[in-house]
Amino acid sequence: MRLRTLPSIALAALFHTAAQAAPLVVNDAWVREAPPTAQVLAAYMQITNPGDQARIITDATSACCQRAEIHRTEIVAGMARMIPQPELTVEAGTTVALEPGGLHLMLIAPQAPVVQGDHVVIELRLDDGATLEVHAEVRRDGEPAMDHSHHMHH
């Protein structure tokens, strides 16, 4: 009986080791379209940690802007303030939503205007040195770009 359980324990240990280093999974990444003169852009996404260890995002960069920062919106005396966050922890088995009115990425000093349909590449850096490349679609109000295939052409 004891020998039969040994392989399953070994298999569980192997799976456990592999699961610890599970990469973060990003879904629904988008950047809000802004006027051409805007000095900041906001990026939003869902970041899921399927692993069994917390992962910590320590930095974000994008070629589209001079710098990127993790911010949290806080309402103080009726005014929305953007509070820089030194890092963002994604606990094991959870999803962190970067969304309007909450946590988000600020893309500061854009190099060029972005318009709906454009794509922005953002690189997230983790505390263990790993990086994650995120492709974010530029949208007007968070709605996915319309499918124009059904529209009539003149």
Residue 148 forms part of a structural domain: no
pLDDT digits (tens, 9 = 90+) for 44-79: 999 999 999 999 999 999 999 999 999 999 988 999
Task: Count structural domains, the chain.
Answer: 1
pLDDT digits (tens, 9 = 90+) for 81-137: 989 999 999 999 999 999 999 999 999 999 999 999 999 999 999 999 999 999 999
Residue 5 forms part of a structural domain: no
The CATH number given to whatever domain includes residue 131 is 2.60.40.1890
3-class DSSP state for residue 64? coil
Residue 93 forms part of a structural domain: yes
Token code pair at residue 137: 């679609």
Neighbours of 104 (CB within 10 A): 24
Q: What is the span of the domain harbouring residue 94? A: 19-141
- Residue 41, C-beta contacts closer than 8 angstroms, at least 6 positions apart: 31, 32, 34, 64, 65, 106, 107, 110, 114, 120
Which comes out higher in pLDDT, residue 10 or 116?
Answer: 116
Residue 14 forms part of a structural domain: no
Residue 62 forms part of a structural domain: yes
Residue 7 forms part of a structural domain: no
